[in-house]
Structure 1
Amino acid sequence: MNQEYSGSGDPAKSLELLWRRRPQPTRGPKPALTVDQIVTAALKVADTDGLAAMSMRRLADELGVGAMTLYRYFPGKGELLDVMLDTVYGELPRRDVPGEWRAKLDEVARENRELYLRHPWMLQVAISRPPLGPNVMAKYEWELSAVEGIGLSDVEMDSTVALVNGYVHGAVRTAVEARQVILRSGMTDKEWWLAHVPHLDQISDLAKFPLSARVGTAVGSEFDAPYDVDHAFEYGLERLLDGVSALVVNRSAPEG
Structure 2
Amino acid sequence: MTELLWGKEPARTRGPKPAITLTAIAEAAIAIADAEGLDAVSMQRIAGELPVTKMALYRHVPGKTELVAVMSDLAMGAPPERPGLPWCEALHTWAMDLYDGFARHPWLLQSTIGRRLLGPNELAWMERGLATLADSGLTGGEQLDSILVVTSHIRNIAQQSATFPGHTTGLTEEDLQQSLTEILRDEADRFPHLVAAMRTSAGSENQGLEFGLQRILDGLELLVSGRADCAGSR
Name the TM-score class by shorter chain: 0.7 to 0.9
Equivalent residue number for residue 193 of structure 2: 211
Aligned partner (choices 110, 124, 148) of residue 134 of structure 2? 148
Equivalent residue number for residue 216 of structure 2: 240
- Equivalent position amino acid for 2:193 in 1: L
- The reply to whether residue 21 of structure 1 matches residue 8 of structure 2 is yes
> How does 1:121-200 map onto structure 2 within 5 Å?
121-177=107-163, 184-185=170-171, 187-189=172-174, 192-194=176-178, 197=181, 200=184
- The reply to whether residue 40 of structure 1 matches residue 23 of structure 2 is no
**Does the residue aligned with 1:148 lie in a helix, a strand or coil?**
coil
What is the CA RMSD across the aligned residues, in angstroms? 2.8
Distance 1:116 1:205, change over 3 A: closer
Give % identity.
34
Question: What per-residue deviation string (whole Å, max 9, x for no partner) do you get for residues 96-150 of structure 1?
Answer: 2x33211001011100000000001101124343543222222221111111121
Question: What per-residue deviation string (whole Å, max 9, x for no partner) do you get for residues 170-204 of structure 1?
Answer: 0011111499999822x443x65456646755x43
- Equivalent position amino acid for 2:122 in 1: V
**Does the residue aligned with 1:229 lie in a helix, a strand or coil?**
coil
**Does the residue aligned with 1:94 lie in a helix, a strand or coil?**
coil
Report deviation, 1:216.
2.6
| TM-score with structure 2 setting the length | 0.86
- The reply to whether residue 100 of structure 1 matches residue 86 of structure 2 is yes
Distance 1:147 1:188, change over 3 A: same
- Equivalent position amino acid for 2:129 in 1: E
Q: Measure the CA separation in 1 of the matches of 2:74 and 2:100.
A: 15
Q: Measure the CA separation in 2 of the matches of 1:178 and 1:217.
A: 29
- Equivalent position amino acid for 2:141 in 1: V
Aligned partner (choices 62, 68, 71) of residue 84 of structure 1? 71
- Equivalent position amino acid for 1:71 in 2: Y
Report deviation, 1:210.
3.8
| TM-score with structure 1 setting the length | 0.79
Q: Which consecutive residues of structure 1, in runs of 5 or more, have no partner in the other structure?
A: 1-13
Q: Measure the CA separation in 1 of the matches of 2:19 and 2:114.
A: 34
Asked if the contact 1:25/1:73 (under 8 Å) is kept, the reply is: no
